[in-house]
């Protein structure tokens, strides 16, 4: 169902993403590394789950953001290995087995002890498993958080992945991320100092729906639940929510359950406010000035000088270099974009929340 607020698990639940699904499936099958990018709430996790469900092999799904939160701001290599072990033993959160029964491939003969197994040992074990199960995919959702893995900013993990790339043909990796620039910085395909420098990979981008598709998505969702919704309300909803599928789903679900356009918008905005404030709090841990920059842009200060004046009025002097770094990082994290010399907030609900 299109308006089901939970992550999707089958193609039938996905609207107009055949191209992205097919490219992602091709990446899992043909490339050692696949990168899936897109802004928050655009549907990356659902696409990844669907393709892993269809995959003719073994797919291991790990949410790096959850591991980061559980570790209090770090990801221990021991915890990472243990999470994979739990998935293989059927005790973890997500494993996509493609119809494979683990007992039929003699998993009992493979021992993974988290405190004794390093990442390369684990990858070699999984490569051996792949000889029986078919290709094994390790999928890291919100993979930019892996830069908090271990004492060297994830470099040991990347070195292990580089070793797997070169030497373990039955193993593949997927990285997804909404903080697109940070994800690219972490993986470092174009960074000479990165263990993955120069490796070939597939990249799939998931973009928000355009206006026409956003409206058709809502029409299709309402048809599924046998609701007739006035065209003007569908257009108003897209005006408010733009083409971000996560918010369109939230609105459609709320309208279906409440029967009221105004209540559906109100509940969607309230839900967005809660989620976005949590994200902003996490952002402020990196620097309180990130929120000030976003507030400036939200109230219409789109030029560099106007943003600097606002930040200095609120928090004191800031150097040109520091402000430029903050703006560049916000672009990398998928909060803002720059068009024609103006800085703009990508998600309209983020802008609405920042305005208060």
- How far is C-alpha 118 from the chain's CA centre? 26
Q: What is the pLDDT of residues 107-146, one digit of tens each?
A: 445 555 555 567 888 898 889 888 877 889 999 999 999 9
Q: Which of 81, 60, 244, 62 is nearest to 143 (CA)?
A: 62
Specify the pLDDT at position 9: 86
Is the pLDDT reported for residue 305 higher than 50?
A: yes
What is the pLDDT averaged over residues 193-203? 93
Q: State whether CATH 3.30.420.130 applies to domain 209-282.
A: no
Mind listing the pLDDT tens digit for each residue in 260-297?
999 999 999 999 899 899 889 888 888 899 999 999 99
pLDDT given at position 109: 52
Q: Specify the pLDDT at position 122.
A: 85
**Mean pLDDT score, 303-326:** 96
- d(C-alpha 304, C-alpha 94), whole Å: 44
**pTM, whole model, 2 decimals?**
0.85
Would you list the domain boundaries of the chain? 17-205, 209-282, 287-356
Q: Is the pLDDT of residue 168 over 80?
A: yes
- 52-69 pLDDT tens trace: 989 888 889 999 988 998
Predicted pLDDT of residue 57: 84
Nearest CA to 292 out of 313, 275, 265, 270 is that of 313
Q: 287-356 has which CATH code?
A: 1.10.10.10
Average pLDDT (249-268) is: 96
Of all residues in the chain, the percent with pLDDT exceeding 90 is: 65
Of 265, 238, 246, nearest to 178 by C-alpha is 246
Q: How many CB atoms lie within 10 A of CB 187?
A: 27
Q: Which tops the pLDDT comparison, 132 or 253?
A: 253
**What mean pLDDT is predicted for residues 322-333?**
94
CB 197, CB 188: distance < 8 Å: yes
- Burial zone of 248 (CB within 10 Å; 0-12 exposed, 13-18 middle, 19+ buried): buried
- Half-sphere exposure of residue 191: CA atoms within 13 angstroms, side-chain side: 14
> Per CATH, is 17-205 categorized as 3.40.50.300?
yes
pLDDT of residue 86: 78
Q: How far apart are CA 173 and CA 5, in angstroms?
A: 27
Residue 236: is its pLDDT beyond 70? yes
Average pLDDT along the chain: 89
What is d(CA 356, CA 354) in angstroms, rounded to the nearest whole number?
5
């Amino acid at each position: 169902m299109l308006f089901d607020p939970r992550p999707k698990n089958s193609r039938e639940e996905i609207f107009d993403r055949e191209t992205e699904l097919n490219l992602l499936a091709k990446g899992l099958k043909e490339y050692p590394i696949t990168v899936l990018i897109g802004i928050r709430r655009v549907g990356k996790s659902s696409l990844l789950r669907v393709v892993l469900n269809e995959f003719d092999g073994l797919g291991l799904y790990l949410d790096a953001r959850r591991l980061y939160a559980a570790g209090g701001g770090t990801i221990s290599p021991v915890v990472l290995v243990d999470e994979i072990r739990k998935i293989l033993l059927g005790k973890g959160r997500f494993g996509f087995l493609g119809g494979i029964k683990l007992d039929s491939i003699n998993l009992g003969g493979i021992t993974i002890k988290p405190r004794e197994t390093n990442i390369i040992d684990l990858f070699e074990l999984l490569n051996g498993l792949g000889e029986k199960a078919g290709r094994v995919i390790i999928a890291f959702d919100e993979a930019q958080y892996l830069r908090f893995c271990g004492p060297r900013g994830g470099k040991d993990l990347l070195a292990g992945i580089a070793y797997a790339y070169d030497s373990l043909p039955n193993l593949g990796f997927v990285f997804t991320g909404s903080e697109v620039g940070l994800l690219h910085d972490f993986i470092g395909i174009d960074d000479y100092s990165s263990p993955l420098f120069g490796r070939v990979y597939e990249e799939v981008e998931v973009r928000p729906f355009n206006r026409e598709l956003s409206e058709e998505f809502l029409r299709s969702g309402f048809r599924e639940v046998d609701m007739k919704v006035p065209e003007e309300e569908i257009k108003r909803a897209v005006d408010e929510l733009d083409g971000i599928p996560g918010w369109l789903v939230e609105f459609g679900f709320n309208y279906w359950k409440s029967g009221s356009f105004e209540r559906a918008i109100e509940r969607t905005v309230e839900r967005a406010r809660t989620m976005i404030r949590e994200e902003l709090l996490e952002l402020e841990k990196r620097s309180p000035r990130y929120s000030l920059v976003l507030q400036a842009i939200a109230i219409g200060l789109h030029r560099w000088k106007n943003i600097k004046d606002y930040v200095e009025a609120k928090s004191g002097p800031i150097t040109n270099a520091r402000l430029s770094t903050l703006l560049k990082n916000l672009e990398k994290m998928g909060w803002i974009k720059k068009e024609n010399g103006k800085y703009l907030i990508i998600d309209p609900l983020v802008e609405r929340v920042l305005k208060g």
